[in-house]
Amino acid sequence: MPPFARLLIANRGEIAIRVIRACRELGISPISVHSDADVDALHVQMADSSERIGPPSPRDSYLSIEAIIDAARRSGADAIHPGYGFLSESPDFARAVEAAGLVFIGPPPETLESLGNKLAARRGAQAAGVPIVPGTTVALGDDSHELAGIGFPLMLKASAGGGGRGMRRVDSPGALADALVAARREALAAFGDGTVYAERLLAPVRHIEVQLLGDRHGRLAVLGERDCSIQRRHQKLVEESPSPAVNPGTRAALFESARRVAASVDFHNAATVEFLLDADNNHYFLEMNTRLQVEHGVTELVTGLDLVAWQIRIAAGEPLADAVLNLAGRGHAIEVRLYAEDPYDDFRPSAGRITAWRMPAGPGVRVDAGVSADTDLRTEYDPLLAKLMVYADDRPSAMDRLRRALDETLIGGVQTDAGFLRWLVDDASFVGGSYDTGLIGERWGTDHELDSELGALAATVALAARTMAETGRVRAPGSNRAGSAWGEVARREALRR
Amino acid sequence: MSDLEVQIDGVPVVPARGWRFEIVDPARGIGRLVNGLASMPVIVEGGASDWVVTIRGRRISVTVRSWRERMLAGAETAAAARAGPVAVRATLPGLILSVAASVGDAVEDGATLLTIEAMKMQNDVRAPRSGRVIEVSVHPGQTVATGAPLIRLE
Per-residue pLDDT of chain B (154 residues; tens, 9 = 90+): 458 999 999 999 999 999 999 999 999 999 999 999 999 999 999 988 999 999 999 999 999 999 888 888 777 777 766 666 888 888 777 788 889 999 999 988 888 899 888 766 677 888 888 888 999 989 888 888 777 889 988 8
Can you give the pTM of this predicted structure? Answer: 0.87
Task: Report pLDDT for A179.
Answer: 87
Is B148 within 8 Å of B92 (Cβ atoms)?
Answer: no
Q: Distance between CA atoms of B48 and A284, rounded to whole angstroms?
A: 57
Q: Is A254 on the interface with B (CB under 8 A)?
A: no
Q: Which of B1, B21, B121 sits opposite A464 (nearest CB)?
A: B21
Low-confidence ranges of chain A (pLDDT < 70): 143-144, 473-497
Closest CA to A9 of A83, A100, A87: A83
Q: In chain B, which residues have their Cβ closer than 8 Å to the Cβ of A420?
A: 57
Task: Report pLDDT for A384.
Answer: 97
Helix (H, G, I), strand (E, B) or coil at A12: coil
Task: Report pLDDT for A482.
Answer: 37
Q: Which of B14, B41, B44 sits opposite A462 (nearest CB)?
A: B44
CB atoms inside a 10 Å sphere around CB A385: 27
Is A484's CB within 8 Å of B119's CB?
no
Q: How far is A213 from chain B (nearest CA, A)?
A: 27
Tell me the torsion sign for CA atoms A470, A471, A473, A476.
positive
Q: Distance between CA atoms of A370 and A365, rounded to whole angstroms?
A: 16
Task: Report pLDDT for A473.
Answer: 64
Is B119's CB within 8 Å of A479's CB?
no
Chain A (403-442) residues lying within 8 Å, Cβ to Cβ, of chain B? 410-422
Q: In chain B, which residues have their Cβ closer than 8 Å to the Cβ of A381?
A: 119
Q: Is B18 on the interface with A (CB under 8 A)?
A: no
Q: Is A487 on the interface with B (CB under 8 A)?
A: yes
Q: Distance between CA atoms of A308 and A298, rounded to whole angstroms?
A: 13
Q: Which of A186, A415, A466 sits opposite B4 (nearest CB)?
A: A466
Give the phi and the psi of residue B127 in degrees, each rounded to 5: -70, 130
Instruction: Name B88's Cβ contacts closer than 8 Å, sequence gap at least 6.
Output: B113, B125, B127, B128, B149, B150, B151, B152, B153
Q: Using CA coordinates, name the residue in chain B closest to A463.
A: B64
Task: Report pLDDT for A161.
Answer: 87
CA dihedral of A476, A478, A484, A490, whole degrees rounded to 10: 40
Is A460's CB within 8 Å of B19's CB?
yes
Instruction: Name B77's Cβ contacts closer than 8 Å, sequence gap at least 6.
Output: none
Q: Which of B19, B21, B58 sits opposite A344 (nearest CB)?
A: B58
Buried-exposed string A461-472: b where 16+ CB fall within 10 A, e elsewhere: bbbbbbebbbee
Chain A (43-72) residues lying within 8 Å, Cβ to Cβ, of chain B? 57
Q: How far is A41 from chain B (nearest CA, A)?
A: 19
Task: Report pLDDT for A484.
Answer: 43
Q: Is A185 on the interface with B (CB under 8 A)?
A: yes
Q: Using CA coordinates, name the residue in chain A closest to B1.
A: A467
pLDDT digit string, tens, across residues A223-266:
999 999 999 999 999 999 999 999 999 999 999 999 999 999 99
Helix (H, G, I), strand (E, B) or coil at A165: strand
Q: Distance between CA atoms of A90 and A93, rounded to whole angstroms?
A: 5
